[in-house]
Structure 1
Amino acid sequence: MMMNSTQVSYFTLTAYFDSGLLTYLYFLIILSLYMLIICSNVFLIVVICINRSLHEPMYLFLCSLFVNELYGSTGLFPFLLLQILSDIHTVSKAFCFLQIFCLYSYGGVEFLTLAIMSYDRYLAICHPLQYNTCMTPNKIAKLTALIWIYPLFINAVIVAGLTAPLQLCGNVINKVYCDNYYVVKLACSDITVNNIFGLSHMFTVIFGLILVIIYTYIRILRVCFSGCQQTRRKAVSTCTPHLASLLNFSCGAFFEILQSRFNLKRLPNLLRIILSLYWLTFQPLINPLLYGLKMSKIRILSKNLLLGNKL
């Protein structure tokens, strides 16, 4: 639908389809996933908070990661559940930009947290004697603040400063949630500043964090291959969940880029919806399982809490 920019007060999400009687089945599946995400992440946050033995940098960053899973899920699932039951898939312009801000800042916090956790594991494994002097409470507080403030600020700039002022000549978004890239594609005004900001941010920040992650794990692998069996076992037990989480998030980001930048109309609509939701659903689902089951200290304390044993 083409229209004058002053008339764009809402967006229509066209990736939804009439699923007939399966509508309620999809609703129950999505609701179950949301409840599972809420319960598992809240449970692990409680385990970390009430156990003094887990008040270490690695577990505090994990706690921040679990809080972010709740934040991102809440930015998606309630709206998605409402849209599944709705026959009219429209959303106001203000709410659309709010959702863009929530989902994109969730992705930023997630990636930055995983990068800082890589740095934390690098210090713990490669420089164990200097670890406590490097990861002081003051530094942990600064890193945690960076994890949250920077993505929130950047996405506020993107949404409020770059995307919202654009003159739009359409209101159709071919997704099940609001996406900044799709909104920018609707613009009939100059988007040069948007493109410059996006490219510069990608090359300076995102690639920079990727280099940090690659460097830290190259160093960790060197220590593993040259160290004793105990060092190797410790590195594997603490790094395996983190690497699995990184791989899962990278796959989700890849699917999102693939969905946004390329024409995937040949794929079934349901598969395209799943690909676009992967990074927002599988990461919050898998992280509690990865860290709760693979990290022995969390696993034991979680079991004690569930059984009512003294922590």
Structure 2
Amino acid sequence: MMNLTVFSTFNNITYISSQYYQLYQNAKLVFFAFIIFCFCFFIYFILVLLVVYFTTPHVRENARYILFAHMLINDTLYLSLGLFLCLGFGFLLYIPVPICYVLVNFAAATFRITPYNLAIMALERYVAICFPLKHIMLCTARRSYFAIAAMWFVGWLPNVADFIILISSVEVKFFSRNLLCRHQSLLVLPAQNTIQFSTLIGSLILVSLVILFTYIKVMLIARKTGSGKSSASKAGRTLILHGVQLFLCLLSLTSSFSELYQGDFYYFVILINFLMFMCVPRLLSPLIYGIRDSVFSKSIKKMKMYSTN
């Protein structure tokens, strides 16, 4: 499915030879500490940006910042769930199937929503640059909230289909089990894997086309203006960064091949995949807007000044 690598493991726990056991435990703790540090830094930066968003009235009415704040909240939910399940696997935490199913599907939905949000943000920049006179009318706060609702509706559709197939095909006793919470444990029918994989591929291809289309259109406007400091040029650079985020999401698909390795250090493969392909793309979002955007950068500087005084 969407290659939520944090959920990937195997049913039979691999027993590590005694000479590597202590090294394995120490390395696991180091990885845990590093990932938790990155997560705490991410949460801190997200909270700073959300404070700016919720305390600045004109920002809360801007479609661009509404979509950005939604992306921050969505990515925070995804990484929180991912970290919990990652730690749960590392400490061999067995979870009842119904709870595991809810957690995995919620994480799957938030994973899908990230590229949807990127596509909507790219379209907003496209309208702002190519149709500036219509931007205020088309990109309103109300339509932004409608777009967010549509993202969540589309993001949950594959999960609804998966649930219908699962409850109509498996025995009730399946839901009474406790297991190490991973996505593969919940894939008991080929149709489930087909639905999830095809949905992910289709979504990423569609979002890629949207970002490519908007980038070409915006850069054509930038070329006409002939200024590297024009709003069109800045929007083009933002779209490039969105493309990088999407590319990293696409790379997460390749982690399924690395997870074919099931040796003694299989868990480290999971941790590396989670850090590189799940955390890094979502760490780019606050960096793109928190550092480059003038509204957020000025507000953050003011907050620093107040804190030092």
Of 49, 69, 74 in structure 2, the residue corresponding to residue 68 of structure 1 is 74
CA separation of 1:195 and 1:69: change in aligned 2, threshold 3 A:
closer
Counterpart check, 1:257 vs 2:285: no
Say if 2:49 and 2:290, in contact at 8 Å, map to a contact too: yes
**Structure 1 residues 274-283 or 140-149, which shifts more?**
274-283
CA separation of 1:212 and 1:21: change in aligned 2, threshold 3 A:
closer
Of 203, 209, 233 in structure 2, the residue corresponding to residue 236 of structure 1 is 233
Q: Distance in 2 between matches of 1:279 and 1:163?
A: 28
CA separation of 1:78 and 1:266: change in aligned 2, threshold 3 A:
closer
Q: Highest relative contact order (Cα 8 Å, sep 6+), 1 or 2? A: 2
Of 150, 154, 157 in structure 1, the residue corresponding to residue 154 of structure 2 is 150
Gaps of 5+ in 1: 1-10, 171-175
> Does the residue aligned with 2:133 lie in a helix, a strand or coil?
coil
Task: Give 1:23's aligned residue.
Answer: 28
Task: Give 2:245's aligned residue.
Answer: 248
Q: Distance in 1 between matches of 2:139 and 2:293?
A: 20
Q: Distance in 2 between matches of 1:13 and 1:95?
A: 21
CA separation of 1:27 and 1:13: change in aligned 2, threshold 3 A:
farther
> Does the residue aligned with 1:58 lie in a helix, a strand or coil?
helix
- How many residues matched? 282
Percent of counterpart pairs with the same letter?
17
Q: Distance in 1 between matches of 2:196 and 2:26?
A: 42
Q: Distance in 2 between matches of 1:240 and 1:16?
A: 49
Say if 1:58 and 1:117, in contact at 8 Å, map to a contact too: yes
Structure 2 length-normalised TM: 0.77
CA separation of 1:264 and 1:100: change in aligned 2, threshold 3 A:
same
Counterpart check, 1:179 vs 2:183: yes
Q: Distance in 2 between matches of 1:203 and 1:146?
A: 19
Deviation of the 1:281 alpha carbon: 1.4
Deviation of the 1:23 alpha carbon: 3.4
Which residue identity does 1:67 align to in structure 2? I
Gaps of 5+ in 2: 1-9, 175-179
> Does the residue aligned with 1:265 lie in a helix, a strand or coil?
coil
Q: Distance in 2 between matches of 1:30 and 1:199?
A: 27
Give the helix-richer structure, 1 or 2: 2
CA separation of 1:96 and 1:164: change in aligned 2, threshold 3 A:
farther
Of 274, 293, 296 in structure 1, the residue corresponding to residue 294 of structure 2 is 296
Which residue identity does 2:72 align to in structure 1? F
Q: Distance in 2 between matches of 1:82 and 1:266?
A: 19
In the TM superposition, what whole-angstrom CA distance separates every residue of 1:278-298 from its partner, at most 9, and x where no partner exists? 332113323212211122221
Which residue identity does 2:304 align to in structure 1? L
Which residue identity does 1:303 align to in structure 2? K
Of 31, 42, 49 in structure 1, the residue corresponding to residue 47 of structure 2 is 42
Q: Distance in 1 between matches of 2:72 and 2:31?
A: 25
Task: Give 2:205's aligned residue.
Answer: 207
Structure 1 length-normalised TM: 0.77
Which residue identity does 2:121 align to in structure 1? M
Q: Distance in 1 between matches of 2:35 and 2:226?
A: 46
> Does the residue aligned with 1:140 lie in a helix, a strand or coil?
helix
Give me the CA root mean square deviation: 3.2
CA separation of 1:12 and 1:34: change in aligned 2, threshold 3 A:
farther
Of 88, 112, 117 in structure 2, the residue corresponding to residue 113 of structure 1 is 117
Which residue identity does 1:119 align to in structure 2? L
Which residue identity does 2:76 align to in structure 1? L
Counterpart check, 1:132 vs 2:132: no
Task: Give 1:161's aligned residue.
Answer: 164
